[in-house]
A and B are shown apart, each in its own frame.
Chain A
């Protein structure tokens, strides 16, 4: 019956050419330095409260963050999804030179400026998961004015520091597995390799090896069954494009790894004290990609007065708390926004 309903829904959508992704909310593009950045404003715009999502990756489409959790947030607030240059389904043909942290910050500012022109934005919050946490921190170092609150979700604000923590994560996991005699072929030699990589510069070869190990260790999803996947409406009846996602995926990361200026700009721990706005630091206890040690690094280094910064650890989550513990995530975000709206 469910299959029949799905087929009927697909046929209906095909025949009408419509889907909620094509009709809901306010959709526009921001053209910035050769890139065309899609922006999608959904939810309760009348609230005057806007939460701007800075997608992770770098490479993800913010549209893939649309989920029951964000839809719950949309009932109270407006949620703004947009794709960064050369990521997600962003279009255009920007030159490689525009792949710099400064340009990503400028793009974010252009998106927020356009958002403010099109809507009555009374309170603006930033949500930065993972790479979005990198971008959010960089943005706030330039533009804190007018931002009511910063929600840092497993954000990597210091790539070199995080590299050591991330290597430790796979090392500890490997040692546990080897001690238990489990998956020995997979984990043999990993502790030694991880230890030898600590303190080195992150490059493609060691990053991909680490990422394979981190995924096997459950560093992204504490429970793999929590992975949401992409629905048919997203794949077929939305602005989303798998081709664009695949083409764009990894381009920014390659640039970071090959451009010393870009890479070095991502060491922001010493600068976090300049961020003084209300901040909510959210982390998955079992995160292997940006381990929980980075949560404490963020919380401790932020310049926000202690009474206005908060740390919440999700005990049953890895890198994807909104999907692994949606209710706890929703509660933490809602309480924070209500406090500072």
Chain B
């Protein structure tokens, strides 16, 4: 596999995973016993360019079968020989859950996306000398929209988790002075 990430990108991915671990840690005894759920998902940009996203969510409003949720996510993916993307995003949206646990959701939000070239880069100076080019990556605004389907296994007391899949459309701006559309598929689990 052509999967050699530079050290900076490996560190950034490690930071994402560490943040997820912190989010999922139990509350201390002197705090509220409520803890935030942890979501972990495969994040496949164009389905097959692999990545990972971790996050949590809050129920802002809950009533009957419906809820309005706010999510927070950290993630990254590797589009081999194109770019590596690291992002932090938040989405808000509605979720409708059937009595037996099946649910659908529609979310929209925004985030920050930082992309690195996935390959060595070179620059050519005015005198013609070719030298490796440092790649600090490029910042971008990341609007997002997700359509999801899931199964809340906690509804029927099977397990304190939910399985879900989401189709996520996200943008990268600026990209050649324009908005570059991306699509991703998430397959994940939410520990509640």
Contacts and interface: CB of A to CB of B under 8 A. Distances in A.
Interface of A: 13-14, 16-18, 21-23, 27-32, 35-36, 38, 40, 85-86, 89-96, 109-110, 113-114, 117, 236-244, 246-248, 251
7 contacts: A38-B81, A93-B176, A114-B130, A239-B82, A239-B118, A244-B175, A247-B178
Given A93-B174, A113-B128, A28 B121 contact: yes
Nearest to B82: A239
Interface in B82-133: 82-83, 115, 117-124, 128, 130, 133
Given A23-B2, A239-B82, A241-B82, A247 B120 contact: no
Contacts of B123: 30-32, 110
Contacts of B115: 91
A86 B79 CA distance: 19
A247 B180 contact: yes
Given A247-B180, A247-B181, A17 B81 contact: no
Contacts of A110: 123-124
Contacts of A38: 81-82, 119
Given A117-B122, A244-B180, 9 more contacts: A22-B1, A22-B80, A27-B81, A29-B119, A31-B121, A93-B174, A93-B177, A96-B177, A110-B123
A203 to B, nearest CB: 22
Interface stretch (B46-54, B60-68, B142-150, B155-163): B46-54
Contact of A236 (B2, B46, B119, B180): B46
A31 B119 CA distance: 12
A interface, over-half SS: mixed
B35 interface: no
Nearest to A35: B176
B10 interface: no
Nearest to A235: B46
A91 B117 contact: yes
Contact of A94 (B83, B119, B133, B176): B176
User: For the side of the interface on B, what is the size category?
Assistant: 35 or more
Nearest to B45: A241
Contact of A29 (B47, B117, B138, B180): B117
Contacts of A239: 79-82, 118
B124 A32 contact: yes
A91 B2 contact: no
B120 A28 contact: yes
B175 A91 contact: yes
Contacts of B81: 21-22, 27, 38, 40, 238-239
Given A17-B80, A22-B80, A29-B117, A247 B179 contact: yes
A94 B180 CA distance: 14
A17 B48 CA distance: 7
Given A18-B1, A27-B81, A13 B119 contact: no
Given A16-B1, A18-B1, A28-B121, A251 B80 contact: no
A89 B48 contact: no
Contact of B1 (A17, A27, A90, A241): A17
Nearest first, the 7 closest Cβ-Cβ pairs linking A and B are A239-B81, A110-B124, A29-B121, A22-B80, A239-B82, A117-B130, A31-B133
Contacts of B3: 17
Nearest to B80: A22
Contact of A13 (B48, B79, B177): B48
B177 A36 contact: no
Contacts of A86: 176
A93 B82 CA distance: 15
A30 B121 contact: yes
Contacts of A96: 177
B96 to A, nearest CB: 30
Nearest to B128: A113
B176 A114 contact: no
A36 B115 CA distance: 12
A89 B138 CA distance: 16
B187 to A, nearest CB: 12
B171 to A, nearest CB: 9
B50 to A, nearest CB: 6
A242 B79 CA distance: 13
A117 B94 CA distance: 55
Contacts of B177: 93-96, 251
Nearest to B178: A247
A244 B172 CA distance: 10
